[in-house]
Amino acid sequence: MSSDRPVICFTGDGGLWYHLSELETAARFGINAIIVLNNNSLNQMTREYERYPGEEDLWHFSKVNFSKIAENMGCFSARVTEPKKIRESLEEALESGRPALVEVISDIKAIAPSPWWR
């Protein structure tokens, strides 16, 4: 049940931890691409955890190479440490014709604005 159109999921490493098994599903069903920003944290929760100073272990993760996990599951994988390589890696992932994970290493201090009204 594969599609001719690639499916791109843009998520963080925290989101991937929740759904890591989806890499296997992508490999099994031929879904083309998954992209992960890896900053070793669940940064979307940073503002919530500010109430607990010194408790970074609530939202910091150990360093994991997700591209190696994807490779072990039979997916195309790339690990990007330089922003100028993102496009090239994404193109390679899409051209591979295989399920893929492009892991982009990002800065833990780079926090997106909150999408919720307070």
CB of 49 closer than 8 Å to CB of 58: yes
How many other C-beta atoms lie within 10 A of the C-beta of residue 102?
Answer: 28
Question: What does pTM read for this prediction?
Answer: 0.73
* Backbone angle region of 84, left / alpha / beta, with phi > 0 → left and psi within -120 to 50 → alpha: alpha
Residue 109, classified by CB atoms within 10 Å of its CB into exposed (0-12), middle (13-18) or buried (19+), is: exposed
Enumerate domains of the chain plus CATH numbers: 8-105 (3.40.50.970)
How many other C-beta atoms lie within 10 A of the C-beta of residue 24?
Answer: 15
pLDDT digits (tens, 9 = 90+) for 22-73: 788 878 887 776 666 666 666 655 556 566 666 666 667 778 898 899 899 8
DSSP E strand stretches across 1-118: 8-12, 33-38, 76-80, 100-105
pLDDT digits (tens, 9 = 90+) for 85-117: 999 999 999 888 888 889 888 877 776 666 665
